[in-house]
Amino acid sequence: MDLFLFDMAGTTIRDDGFVLRAFLAAAKSEGLTPEPQWVRARMGWKKLRVFELMLQAAGRSLDSAPSLNERFEEQIAVEVSRHAPEPLPGAVEAMRALRKAGAEVGFTTGFSEKTACLLLRLLGWPADVLAASDMVDEGRPAPDLIRYCMGIVGVSDAGRVGVAGDTPADLQAGAAAGCGMVVGVGHGSHSLEELAAFPHTHLLPDLKTLPEILDVVA
């Protein structure tokens, strides 16, 4: 791989439910009460789009979607100030091995650039490239986040790009971009059984074996 792109919450960063809690807290501030399963099905999406659909489903104007998104971002900041973000098993080692093998390593996320940078700063993780949902026209499952990163680092062959994520949207975006490696991990918002129904090249319980699969050494 010339470029490997990781999702953040649920893929490389432990999600103990803080993303769902932030969604529900923001929704509650506008008197909205979406079912947790409805939100879960849209994990990995552009957050603003989730709130637009939430308002639409409630028969409400979409005008308050930006403020809902801002409250979501504020709640995420509160959550990570209470409990520092933690790497998931194998994440740091996989990134180290990829860099050692000469690959660029980056992140794609449904979070905003502000929130993504906050998380990376708290974890002390460098990123060769970052694509957040407010940096592209379309979030997942569209391939825009991946193609943005490819353009930044100068990789033109999607077959030389790998992606890893814990949601159906991650896998759909990887397939839409034509990535050579599309890895679903089962320690996030969706189980491996659920992810199996979506396009993928590999399904892994965590990232511990990713270096071995890529034949790179940490």
Q: What is the CATH number of the domain that holds 47?
A: 1.10.150
Same domain for 201 and 144: yes
pLDDT tens sequence across 151-191: 999 999 999 999 999 999 999 999 999 999 999 999 998 99
Same domain for 141 and 63: no
Same domain for 135 and 62: no
Q: Is the dihedral of CA 45, 127, 177, 198 positive or negative?
A: negative
Decide if pLDDT at 218 tops 90: no
Number of domains observed in the structure of the chain: 2
Which two three-digit tokens encode residue 149? 């990163």
Same domain for 126 and 94: yes
Same domain for 209 and 101: yes
In whole angstroms, give the CA distance from residue 152 to residue 165. 20
Q: What is the dihedral of CA 175, 178, 184, 188, to 10 degrees?
A: -70
Same domain for 202 and 113: yes
Decide if pLDDT at 105 tops 70: yes
**47, 69 in Cβ contact below 8 A?**
yes
Nearest to 18 by CA among 88, 66, 80: 80
From 42, 67, 82, the end of a domain falls on 82
Same domain for 168 and 91: yes
Q: Express as a percent the part of the chain with pLDDT over 70.
A: 99
Same domain for 121 and 75: no
Q: Give the domain extent around 183.
A: 3-14+87-214
**111, 76 in Cβ contact below 8 A?**
yes
Q: How confident is the model at residue 216 (pLDDT cuts 50, 70, 90)?
A: confident
Same domain for 33 and 113: no
DSSP string, 96-122: HHHHHTT-EEEEEESS-HHHHHHHHHH
Q: How confident is the model at residue 215 (pLDDT cuts 50, 70, 90)?
A: confident
Average pLDDT over residues 120-142: 96
Q: How confident is the model at residue 91 (pLDDT cuts 50, 70, 90)?
A: very high
For position 18, what pLDDT does the model report?
93
pLDDT tens sequence across 26-54: 999 999 999 999 999 999 999 999 999 99
Summary mean pLDDT of the chain: 95
Domain containing residue 171: CATH number: 3.40.50.1000
Q: Express as a percent the part of the chain with pLDDT over 90.
A: 97
Q: Is the pTM of this model over 0.75?
A: yes
Same domain for 108 and 71: no
Same domain for 195 and 144: yes
Which two three-digit tokens encode residue 196? 């199996």
**218, 93 in Cβ contact below 8 A?**
yes
Decide if pLDDT at 217 tops 80: no
From 82, 109, 134, the end of a domain falls on 82
From 64, 82, 100, the end of a domain falls on 82
For position 164, what pLDDT does the model report?
98
Same domain for 67 and 111: no
The residues, ordered by sequence, that sit 6+ positions from 111 with a Cβ below 8 Å of its Cβ are: 8, 9, 47, 73, 76, 119, 132, 133
Maximum pairwise Cα distance, the chain: 53
